[in-house]
Chains A and B, each alone.
Chain A
Amino acid sequence: MTSTREVACLHLENLELVMVVDCFGDHRIVEVNLPHPPEIADLKRLTDVGRQTILSDLPRPFFRIDCPGRFLLTGIIGDPKVRFTLRQAALTKAPKIVSQAVRELLNLKRKGAKR
């Protein structure tokens, strides 16, 4: 990311969320190292998805998933590092929104949730 810098690192439910300043000087970007690399099937679990692009023909398939009102999620299939670019309206709830999306993505249960 151009001219971004890490400003905070949150540990939330065993996830490391790295908040970085984007090139507008805002905290719109959250980078996450997932516990395991996402597969195409994982992407289908995300809810409230708007536009979804998966360049699956590439040797390293790139995905770009837009969730209106919340974020743009980008990453590479097989690479655990993904990036959330948040919408303005979602900035104040960034950790919650990102951790919820990661749980959806990886089909993780919330800690303490009833089975």
Chain B
Amino acid sequence: MADFPVQFNPALNQARLAGSNMVFHCHYYNCAVHKAIEETLGDQATGLFRETAAAAVRSQLRHLIDTHDAVITRFSKGRTLFQQLGFGSFDAQQLTSAGGVVVSNSSHYALGWLSQYGIRETPVCQFIEGYLKALVEIAYGLAPEQVAVRETDCMAKGDANCRFVVEVSDGEDTHGH
């Protein structure tokens, strides 16, 4: 039994989890769409992936994470959901309400990109950046403009693991993000 059961409606071929439509896709598609959009938008693509990911995840986590949950429980739920949906796994033990670092040694996007297209020069896990941004916002009760997540190391660049730096501001300084 999944921690977060997906409701499948066979009459419509529609799968829903906490208000969101969920669709199965393999890494070939995930990475090919990523590549197509990068080729179209260039540098602007990273911001688009990050923001669309954060919006989709934020909307769902608001349904799944109880405001009465302890912070550690909120992170645990977010991490469990991430794994359940097949995006990989991450370790957020070095993260506090002031920010910190999240590390992943199993990223669907990075592993997928490597196997499909080989080493790249820039990080590829913008979806995870967006996911973590939404999770940190909800876990600590922060506004979207207070949280910025950037991937500094990425297995798709040849790094040993994927490393995400989480910055939390007081809300006035948004670092131009």
The answer on direct contact between A and B (beta carbons under 8 Å) is yes
Interface residue? B84 (CB, 8 A): no
B155: min CB distance to chain A, Å: 11
A17: min CB distance to chain B, Å: 22
A23-B111 Cα distance, complex, nearest whole Å: 9
Total cross-chain contacts (CB, 8 A): 15
Greatest chain A CB density within 10 A among B26, B105, B115 is at B115
Number of interface residues of B (CB under 8 A): 9
Interface residue? A88 (CB, 8 A): yes
Within 8 A of B (CB), among A7-49: 23-26
**CB neighbours of B28 from chain A (8 A):** 23
**CB neighbours of A88 from chain B (8 A):** 105-106
Residue ranges of A at the interface with B (Cβ–Cβ < 8 Å): 23-26, 88
Residue ranges of B at the interface with A (Cβ–Cβ < 8 Å): 26-28, 105-106, 111-112, 114-115
14 contacts between A and B (CB under 8 A): A23-B26, A23-B27, A23-B28, A23-B115, A24-B27, A24-B111, A24-B112, A24-B114, A24-B115, A25-B114, A25-B115, A26-B111, A88-B105, A88-B106
